[in-house]
Amino acid sequence: MVIRPRTRLATLMIAGTLLGAGAIAGWKVIARPEQARLPLASGFGPTPTLPSPNPTLVPTINVATPVGWEKEQTPHPARGLAVHAFATGLDHPRWLYTLPNGDILVAETNSPGTDIDTLKNKAARFVMGWAGAGEKSPDRIVLLRDTNGDGTADTRTVFLDHLRSPFGMALVGQTLYVANADSIVAFPYTPGTLFVHDPGTKVADLPAGYNHHWTKNLLASPDGRFLYVTVGSNSNVAEHGIEAEEGRARSPGSNWQQVR
């Protein structure tokens, strides 16, 4: 196995984190011999055969290297079709929403940085930074408009600013709802507008805390009466205790917000 320099450094950092945690908690990390791979077909069907976990002393990771939009990196579509960039130069875009007039809203956002400052999290942020995920959140929504129909956005404005790690968006009538990492905020919307100066009105608080899974999406019911919100867990494997998850994974009856 060949490990790139970045991968090797990340592996050593994470190994040090795991060894330190193991010394405190009394964990045992056991390396098993190389195991035979299962046939590919065994992983399909309603009852797939899953191999046993293979814990190792040093985990192996591979960090993606962003290359941006380059001509030689564009997708290769089916014959007769073409792919080109609608917009470039965006600052960590995470979610898109199409308005009725064809304008595209883009949430430029990143983690709110509310995770506990542990050695493990510091190592994770360092590694994620190589893939562009460790920067401060832009906290805004950008509007893209194609005025001449050529498939490229020729108008770009900051539609909403000073948000808190925004993600999901939903337009209901003349109101645009935005899901921040910790709340839902409503803004008045006028068709065709390029920006909104209104500070917005908070509709509801959302579970936040450590915010390992901070992205909150929105979906309005077809009649516009209800707004459904994704919440997500507060950790990966309840590493901060199950109490930290209380109130997040809610029942269907309490997981919606009536919007009108």
Residue 207 belongs to a domain: yes
pLDDT computed for residue 10 by the predictor:
44
Residue 258 belongs to what domain range?
Answer: 91-116+136-260
Residue 235 belongs to a domain: yes
- Position of tokens 């430029």? 108
d(CA 165, CA 27): 35
**How many structural domains comprise the chain?**
1
Torsion angle, alpha carbons of 36, 40, 44, 48, to 10: -10
Q: Residue 259 region, left (φ>0) first, then alpha (ψ -120 to 50), else beta?
A: alpha
d(CA 3, CA 9): 9
> Which two tokens mark 82?
């073409």
pLDDT computed for residue 80 by the predictor:
94
Residue type, 108: E
d(CA 116, CA 114): 6
Residue 4 belongs to a domain: no
pLDDT computed for residue 259 by the predictor:
53
Averages of pLDDT over each 10 residues, the chain, 260 residues = 39 44 39 59 87 75 72 82 90 96 97 81 78 84 96 97 97 96 95 96 86 87 91 78 72 44
Residue type, 208: A
Bridge partners of residue 96, in order along the sequence: 106
Residue 10 belongs to a domain: no
Residue 177 belongs to a domain: yes
pLDDT computed for residue 72 by the predictor:
67
Residue 80 belongs to a domain: no
d(CA 210, CA 109): 17
pLDDT computed for residue 96 by the predictor:
98
Residue 30 belongs to a domain: no
> Which two tokens mark 252?
């269907």
Q: Are 165 and 181 in contact (CB under 8 A)?
A: yes
Residue 202 belongs to a domain: yes
